[in-house]
Amino acid sequence: MSLRDLVMGGAGCSAPGVGPSTANPMAGLADSLIGGAAKQQERLRELPGLAGPEVGPSSQDFGRSRLQPPLPGFELDHGIVGPSGPRGQEFLQGFNSHNQGFSDAWDEALRPGFPHGPPMGPEAAHFEDFERIYSQQGPMLAGPMPEGAPQQVLAGFLHSFLDSSRTAAPFPAVKLPELGLSQMDKERIRNRSSIMARHIFADKGPMFVENQVNALLQSLEIDRNPELEHRMHGPMGGAFREFEDYWAEGAPPVNGPGHPDQWAAEFQNKLRLQNGNHWGEEYARENSSGGTWGDEFAQEQGDQWAEEMAAQERQRLGLLPGQQAATLDQTRQLAETLSQNKDPKFQNSKFLQFVSKMSRGELIMEDNAVREAAAGDGWANEFQVQQTRGAFGGPQQANDWASEFHREQQQDPQGWADEYAQEQAQGPKDWADEFGDQVAKGALDIDESGWVDSYNQFLDESRGGEASTSNMDYKFAEQNPYMGHPAPLREGQDLFRRGLLSEAVLALEAEVLKNPNSCEGWRLLGNCHAENDDDRQAIAAMLKAREADPTNLEVLLSLGVSHTNELEQQEALGYLRSWLQNHPRYGKLVPQDGSAEGLGHEEVVNMFRAAVREAPEDADLHTVLGVLFNLSREYDLAIEAFRQALQLKPKDYSLWNKLGATQANSARSADAVQAYQEALDLKPNYVRAWSNMGIGYANQGRYEESIRYYVQALQMNPMSDNAWNYLRISLSCAGRMDMVELVDRKDLDVLAKEYPL
Amino acid sequence: MGAQGDGEKLASSSKLKSAALLDMMKEHIKGPEGKGLLEKIGLVYQMNIGEKKLGFQEESFVIDLKEGNVYKGAYKGGKPDATFSFADQDFVAVATGKLNPQMAFIRGKMRIKGSMKAAQKFTPDIFPKPSKL
């Protein structure tokens, strides 16, 4: 492939595994110049020629280049708006316009704790969402981005990158929040990730390494090929008209060192010199003498960019021999943290061996050599890799500058390591430090920011499919003070009677761990979860109870109710039918030849009606009928059935709750609230009724009240995800964005003070 | 409720959880509690719900927040203001606040056709939350 192709963005210059439009060099350039380094500065001051709609091209590329096809469901995108299309942008952006009631509500429901700021430029607005997550700790739109939060996100992300080495799972490219990485940061990450990946994944072959690194870099919005970023400063191809137009507006016509071959020659020369100066600076200097658009660019808004380069340079020069002691210390620390990683692959990696040597002082850095190596090395790695896999068209081009790099690379095999160590010495904020810390701490400790949570959750989902809902396994609490209790069942029953549901759950878990076939233990445990407003756990426990005793009527009814609540109609119908089937008195009403399996809702209802004719005084029959009518959403009939049952059993709090829930689901929330109150009078710690009460008020648009009830429910059972979700919605509907943040942190104390019942 | 023509339950002809949820929605917007919603939104949404996967074996439902109705099938009054595609459980997750719509969109779990302005009003708070028996 000719250099021209590279410059013009020919098909072959995309990285493998990436669609042609995603990694085109233009996108890379747009990313790096506008999306990357310039973005931060854009926030600091309005830059002429960059503000406003003129960033269009980059916004266009934004979606394509950053949201990669691996996102589920994208293969079907025809005529439907995906996040990448311009209309998708519009859609996402729309959430950020703070002048419409409902989009506000959405916005706020989803993005808690964000102080309303002035609308941003379209580009910034796209991921304002994520930005605000970390901007909570710092000023918005002003000053440099805070160090802490993005570091944390980055660290979490890099950590999961390392994790992928253990699972050997392909590392998925994901959209990360704007981390505000400087050009320098990006370059460092690029260089190091390539280096580390090759060691961590040494046994997986170069393609795997390549893919992993690509995924990482994509996610971090770092262009795979740094050289392309510069190479692109040439004449633009017709395919990039928008971009061309954009440049034409802000800069004089392109001439200068534009011709690709010419440029390549210069480039080659420059690299041969190996004089230790950073190429970025050199590039800037060359251009500034030429009076090209690059010069213009630098003057207009690239000054800081260039300064960053220069700063890095200064930093490198500043690495005096006297600092070697500090370096030694740093590396020792690093070696310690890294050695805590138990992964044998990691333990055997050359990387770790190197760091260990460093820390023992067996390797000593000479700053000149290091600097020289570092300046050329990152590239060299890139090129070596590119060269190996032939992405640039194979080894034809005899004068290939890439092979020159290759050779250089071989001359200095320690280069990467030196570079790494040198960077390591630069400061405690270092990437590797962070990385090592995270490794040492383990995955669980990094989840301080909700963002990392949802990112991990996303990863889980994309890897493990949707196991969460179909997974019926009971989840035990990790720590249980009732383990070893002599009579956990009795204790659990007692706690249940006293209304201490969450405590009862623990005691009963101890019971079923002791006696896995304890039907009563599992049943009561399931019952506790149902009253605690957790139907998934209730179902899981009840299934175990049913294993122990397949004919227990209470268990079958509970399963029917919980599946109804989870909108699982077929399952619910099945259990309610087997309730009748297994009933000693009414079982005869059900065909016993096995044909009962196929009975539909109507037939089952008819059998129950026959049973009611036989025994109108049996409250349970009315109760099951009420559930059945809920299932078919015949709410009037359901309410009637529950009322009948309540006449026979007026002290049954769960019946009052069932009546209320039926009323609320049929738009009679005012009635429902009264029924719930009856239930709560009978059982004050009935979490489900408290939670339902909140729903009842929310349905009526009385959000303030609903918040109080949700908070109350959560104080009794902080594990109720439903209540947290509903609370968030009610808070945003009530305009209490300041409180939504507390929901994200699951901080009840302040909420309870603000919303006492 | 009962036997009148539009009293037909969506869930009686569908196994989708979404259908059950939309039945509640229907009760909600036909009753006094849903009045405000019609004033506030006044748009027509069509939902295409795939049982397991977005785009496959889809059933369509219309949430008509202009007239105050929910029914199965495609919109009868022309073009809906916005059409959403979901997998069954993702729609339920969005409607119950488990999954944030924007995240659903970004992850490709929700697709949108039609007016963006209309789509932006499609928020979890328009759906009544299912109360638990």
Q: What is the per-residue pLDDT across A409-424, written as a single tens digit (0 to 9) for each?
A: 555 545 555 555 555 4
CB contacts, 8 Å: B55 with chain A: 73, 76
In a domain, A637, yes or no: yes
In a domain, A420, yes or no: no
Residue of B nearest to A98 (CA): B120
Helix (H, G, I), strand (E, B) or coil at B83: strand
Are A571 and A533 part of one and the same domain? no
Domain with A555 in it: 551-648
CB contact under 8 A, A92 and B102: yes
Helix (H, G, I), strand (E, B) or coil at A586: coil
In a domain, B33, yes or no: yes
- Per residue in A209-242, pLDDT (tens digit) is 677 777 777 766 666 554 443 434 434 434 444 5
CB contacts, 8 Å: B97 with chain A: 109, 725-726, 728-729
pLDDT for residue A658 = 96
pLDDT at A505 over 60: yes
Of A534, A550, A566, the one marking the end of a domain is A550
B56: domain CATH number is 3.30.1050.10
pLDDT for residue A745 = 86
How many structural domains is chain B composed of?
1
Read off the pLDDT band of A586 (50, 70, 90).
Answer: very high
Instruction: List the beta bridge partners of residue B111.
Output: B85
pLDDT at A72 over 60: no
Domain with B115 in it: 12-122
Query: Which of A521, A519, A512 is closest to A493 using CA atoms?
Result: A521
Judged on CB neighbours under 10 Å (0-12, 13-18, 19+), A290 is middle
Read off the pLDDT band of A270 (50, 70, 90).
Answer: low
pLDDT at A538 over 80: yes
Find the range with the poorest average confidence among A195-204, A507-516, A559-568, B106-115. A195-204
pLDDT for residue A319 = 45
- Per residue in A343-402, pLDDT (tens digit) is 555 555 555 565 555 555 555 554 444 333 333 444 444 544 444 444 444 444 444 555
CB contacts, 8 Å: B36 with chain A: 701
Are A601 and A640 part of one and the same domain? yes
CB contacts, 8 Å: B95 with chain A: none
Find the range with the poorest average confidence among A251-255, A436-440, A560-564, A604-608. A251-255
Percent of chain A whose pLDDT exceeds 90: 29
CB contact under 8 A, A109 and B113: no
CB contact under 8 A, A72 and B109: yes
B114: left (phi over 0), alpha (psi -120 to 50) or beta: left
Mean pLDDT for the stretch of residues A132-144: 40
CB contact under 8 A, A565 and B36: no
In a domain, A585, yes or no: yes
Read off the pLDDT band of A155 (50, 70, 90).
Answer: low
In a domain, B109, yes or no: yes
Q: Which among B96, B102, B121 has the least Cβ separation from residue A110?
A: B102
Are A655 and A751 part of one and the same domain? yes
A605: domain CATH number is 1.25.40.10
Are A496 and A564 part of one and the same domain? no
In a domain, B40, yes or no: yes
Say if residues A154 and A179 touch (Cβ distance below 8 Å): yes
Q: Which of the pair, A477 or A219, is modelled with greater confidence?
A: A477
pLDDT for residue A521 = 95
Residue of A nearest to B112 (CA): A81
Are A663 and A576 part of one and the same domain? no
In a domain, A112, yes or no: no
In a domain, B4, yes or no: no
In a domain, B24, yes or no: yes
Mean pLDDT for the stretch of residues A181-189: 69
Mean per-residue pLDDT of chain A = 66
Are A524 and A605 part of one and the same domain? no
User: Number of helices (H) and strands (E), helices first, in chain A?
Assistant: 42, 0
Read off the pLDDT band of A16 (50, 70, 90).
Answer: very low
Are A695 and A747 part of one and the same domain? yes
- Please, what is the Cα angle at A737 between A732 and A740, to 5 degrees? 80
Roughly how many angstroms between the first and final C-alpha of chain A, as a whole number? Answer: 72
Of A550, A572, A603, the one marking the end of a domain is A550
pLDDT at A131 over 70: no
Q: Which among A565, A667, A668 has the least Cβ separation from residue B130?
A: A565
Contact with chain B for residue A109, Cβ under 8 A: yes
Residue of A nearest to B103 (CA): A110
Helix (H, G, I), strand (E, B) or coil at A501: helix
Are A609 and A699 part of one and the same domain? no
Which residue type does A646 have? L
DSSP string for residues in B22-52: HHHHHHHHHSGGGHHHHHHT--EEEEEEESS
CB contact under 8 A, A533 and B132: yes
pLDDT for residue B9 = 73
Are A558 and A643 part of one and the same domain? yes
Are A697 and A628 part of one and the same domain? no
In a domain, A526, yes or no: yes
- Please, what is the Cα angle at A528 between B97 and A541, to 5 degrees? 85
pLDDT for residue A104 = 46
CB contact under 8 A, A92 and B106: yes
Find the range with the poorest average confidence among A318-322, A622-626, A632-636, B11-15. A318-322
Distance CA A151, CA A161 (A): 15
Q: Using CA of residue A82, residue A87, residue A89, residue A93, what is the dihedral sign?
A: negative
Find the range with the poorest average confidence among A203-207, A378-382, A526-530, B102-106. A378-382
Nearest CA to CA, how far is A458 from chain B (Å)? 9
pLDDT for residue A272 = 53
Distance CA B91, CA A413 (A): 54
In a domain, B55, yes or no: yes
Residues 6+ apart with CB under 8 A from A249: A49, A54
pLDDT for residue A134 = 43
Of A533, A550, A567, the one marking the end of a domain is A550
In a domain, A399, yes or no: no
- Per residue in A658-713, pLDDT (tens digit) is 999 999 999 899 999 999 999 999 999 999 999 999 999 998 889 999 999 999 99
In a domain, A493, yes or no: yes
CB contact under 8 A, B97 and A726: yes
pLDDT for residue A252 = 43
Both tokens of A331, joined, read 């590396």
- Per residue in A78-88, pLDDT (tens digit) is 444 445 555 55
Query: Which of A716, A652, A723, A715 is closest to A683 using CA atoms?
Result: A652
Mean pLDDT for the stretch of residues A18-37: 45
Please list the ranges in chain B whose pLDDT falls under 50: 1-5
In a domain, B132, yes or no: no
Question: Which residues of chain A from 507 to 546 reach within 8 Å of chain B, CB to CB?
Answer: 533, 535
Query: Which of A223, A573, A322, A638 is closest to B1 using CA atoms?
Result: A638
How many structural domains is chain A composed of?
4
Are A581 and A667 part of one and the same domain? no
Contact with chain B for residue A129, Cβ under 8 A: yes
